[in-house]
Chain A
Amino acid sequence: MKLTIAKEQLVAGLQAVQNVVGSRTTLPILSNVLLSANEGRLELTATDLDVTIACSVNATVERPGKTTLPVKKFFGIIRELPTGEIELDVDEKSVCAIRAGASFFKINGLAAEEFPPMPSFKQARAVSLPQEKLKAMLRKTSFAVSTDESRYVLNGIFFSLKDHKVTLVATDGRRLALTDEETEISAEAQADFIVPTKAINEVNRLLGSTGTVELKYSENQVAFTTAAEGQMGALIISKLVDGNYPNYRQVIPGECQERISLPREEFLGALRRAELMTSDKSNSVKLSFSRNQLAITANTPEVGEARENLAINYKGKDFAIAFNPAYLMDPLKALETDEVAFELIDELSPGVVKASVPFLYVIMPMRMS
């Protein structure tokens, strides 16, 4: 394999794939990136066997071929090279010579045949979405994903594709975020699956603001393929979380006692300030509603307290409820609307945050002792 490639092309390609390579892998080949050169393109692939990422960049290929190189070391070298053309020349022993300007490197690789084969899809179903849309949907849900490894079915985002809608749900058992988007889904493409957090992070990183992303899925894996005019496309393939997502619909409250409209940014700012007066041990803020006023208070014994009043439109009875401020702020940060609607039943029942965009957030309060 022999080719020349512009530095920024190679850097972009490596940046796209190298994240998936762990620092500690049991198989040495998994520390390597697969390079495959053919007809004006260089394809790069990296995998940890759970998630695989591939992309392709422009190159002038003199001699087509394949090899694998230790990605951290290779990327480290390429990043430090001066801007300009880089020549890669790989011999039959998988040793890669790198030439750029006055710099010369030799780096030992492993044969391409040792690299795990690309997962194949049999009888896959597919839907297509604008990249920008999916990115916005992930932004509105991914913060609620559980990181508790003892609840592995919650360690990912639930995708439901049915009834002309893509619905995304994430929950950690204390709050739940849901968003949906209308889209064309054929009868045979209907499906439910859970995409693990690691893959979500990679998809999120590689989604742009233009072009489309195609989701292809089968019984146990999913592929996201991005394509956009004038931009590098990427392919992310991931295993699905094996298990049944809990019936999330049962935790969405039907009716509410109070529906309160709140200015999003002011509410967020007040929570940020109140949070300063919480601690690990005392991590709640109290929301006290009274006629046309919301008082936000935090109180940590031996540290101090915070109090802030917000003028709101409220005619109901006096009422107080406590929340973990982080859980309350997450959706406010993810939304961009001016107002949010807060629906409450009583101090021990789930609260609901809604907005003028497709979004639903259920949050459990804290029981004050």
Chain B
Amino acid sequence: MADLTAPSTPPARPAARVILHLDMDAFYASVEQRDRPDLRGRPVIVGSPPDQRGVVCAASYEARKFGVRSAMPSRTAGRLCPQGVFVRPRMEEYRHESREIFRLVAATGVFVEQVSVDEAYLEATALIPPALRSEPDAALEWARPLAEELKRSIREQRRLTASVGIAGNKLLAKLASDYRKPDGLMLIPERDKVAFLRPLPVRALHGVGRVTEEALVGAGLGTIGHLQDYPGDLRHLVGSWGPVLKRFAVGEDDRPLELGDEVKSISSETTFEHDTADRPTLRAALREHADDIARKLERRHLWARTVQVKVRYGDFTTLTRQFSVEEPVVEAREIYRLGCWLLAQHQLVSRPLRLLGLGVSGLAEAQARQLRLSLG
């Protein structure tokens, strides 16, 4: 006989998740301004001097007003902002500063995925009080004092400012930290996320680069709102990534934090002494990179699902193109073949190259490996 006293299954309730995105404001430039009072309030450009070949690593907010951006050639920056103060980067100093900041982050007890020296995702889900675990928006509000405290300790102990975004996933947390820079704190509640995303350009979504943006805008989908209203799953516009993009557009993202020190990609690149379109030179460079990558994969017992090429032209335009394979690659020959194919397929050597790079990602531990027919 059925036990009528047994409790019925409780209705499924949404599980709250709390993600913080921490982003230091103009990190390198801010460290310089902190350490050198004479630079405060002035347009500081960290990078190569404007009369040399090289790029901007970071620009202070004063310099950004002139349109100076990181990765821009220093020459261009010098033209845009003639009164800019160019400072040689002190990488060792920034790394040291980064370690100090992450010590403060670690003290909060959250899980940390460090993205770069000055950027990290923090997950506080495990710390949510039990009463709030099925109340996503209340859980996010609960995290606000945690974020304020972290910003305060960085400001007081390191004399630097950070922007923090709080949201229910990585996608939104990053958008939030970016929204109120510098020294910002922004929270996107679950109930507002769809409306928040609506007016933003599609480019704001994680993973939408120039090519995807062009495809979407070309189809009349310029804003995230357009994507939300689009009836299909976008597959015919952006390929297999369509369903994920569609979920991103409504603020859904279940990517976990990537913890630990596992390798996520391996790459290798050459900057040529003189820009070149010489096929044998380029092939030799690719072959060398492929050998190098294959050796590293072998050493770590990894294989790769994606191969990527990167080219940079004389004017610093930089393009990357990638291809994901059905059967993971490990061999130099196959990595080289795919590198050549990507260059040809996308006609990347349409003019001389300043830089040529080859990389692999989608790495996983090598398992039983499918052997190939020797078709030649």
Contacts and interface: CB of A to CB of B under 8 A. Distances in A.
Interface stretch (A11-19, A215-223, A225-233, A245-253): A245-253
A324 to B, nearest CB: 6
Interface stretch (A131-139, A173-181, A264-272, A309-317): A173-181
12 contacts: A171-B373, A174-B372, A174-B373, A175-B373, A176-B373, A251-B373, A281-B364, A281-B367, A283-B368, A364-B371, A364-B372, A366-B370
A171 to B, nearest CB: 7
Given A284-B368, A369-B366, 17 more contacts: A24-B237, A148-B325, A150-B323, A174-B372, A174-B373, A175-B373, A176-B373, A250-B374, A250-B375, A251-B375, A281-B365, A283-B368, A284-B367, A322-B368, A364-B373, A367-B371, A368-B368
A251 B374 CA distance: 6
A174 B373 CA distance: 6
B327 interface: yes
A246 B376 contact: yes
| Chain A: interface size category | 20 to 34
B64 to A, nearest CB: 39
Contacts of A83: none
A356 interface: no
Contacts of B326: 147-148
Given A148-B326, A150-B323, A367 B369 contact: yes
Contacts of B338: 150
- DSSP class of B's interface residues: helix, strand, loop or mixed? mixed
Contacts of A186: none
A160 to B, nearest CB: 16
A250 B374 CA distance: 8
Interface in A1-55: 23-24
A362 B373 contact: yes
Contacts of B376: 246-247, 250
A150 B236 contact: no
Identify the 9 closest CB pairs spanning chains A and B, nearest first.
A246-B375, A364-B371, A284-B368, A366-B368, A251-B373, A150-B341, A367-B369, A368-B368, A366-B370
Nearest to B328: A281
A366 B369 contact: yes
Interface residues of B, number: 24
Interface string B239-279: 00000000000000000000000000000000000000000
Contact of B367 (A148, A282, A350, A365): A282
Nearest to A281: B367
A348 interface: yes
Contact of A350 (B236, B364, B373): B373
Interface string B351-372: 0000000000000111111111
A147 B367 CA distance: 23
Given A150-B341, A282-B368, A284-B368, A247 B373 contact: no
Contacts of B327: 174
A366 B371 contact: yes
Interface string A318-348: 0000101000000000000000000000001
- The interface centre, meaning the residue of B236, B345, B368, B369 with most chain A CB atoms within 10 A of its CB, is B368
A151 to B, nearest CB: 9
Contacts of A147: 326
A247 B369 contact: no
Nearest to A282: B367
A364 B368 contact: no
A45 to B, nearest CB: 24
Contacts of B373: 171, 173-176, 251, 350, 362, 364
A25 to B, nearest CB: 11
B370 A174 contact: yes
A55 B345 CA distance: 35
Nearest to B373: A251
A251 B327 CA distance: 19
Interface in A155-195: 171, 173-176
Given A24-B236, A148-B326, A365 B371 contact: yes
A318 to B, nearest CB: 20
Contacts of A362: 373
A24 B235 CA distance: 12
Most buried by B among A176, A282, A366: A366
Contact of A369 (B342, B367, B371): B367
B157 to A, nearest CB: 43
Most buried by B among A23, A150, A173, A366: A150
A239 B327 CA distance: 28
Contacts of A350: 373
B319 to A, nearest CB: 18
Contact of B375 (A23, A173, A282, A369): A173
Nearest to B371: A364
B298 to A, nearest CB: 12
A118 B146 CA distance: 70
B358 to A, nearest CB: 14
B370 A248 contact: no
Contacts of A175: 373
Contacts of B368: 282-284, 322, 366-369
B316 to A, nearest CB: 28
Nearest to B237: A24
B366 to A, nearest CB: 6
Contacts of B325: 148, 150
A98 B275 CA distance: 63
B300 to A, nearest CB: 14
A171 B375 contact: yes
Interface string A198-215: 000000000000000000
A364 B372 CA distance: 6
A348 B369 CA distance: 11
A76 to B, nearest CB: 16
A364 B374 CA distance: 10
Nearest to B376: A246
Interface in B309-343: 323, 325-327, 337-338, 341-342
A297 B237 CA distance: 41
Nearest to A23: B236
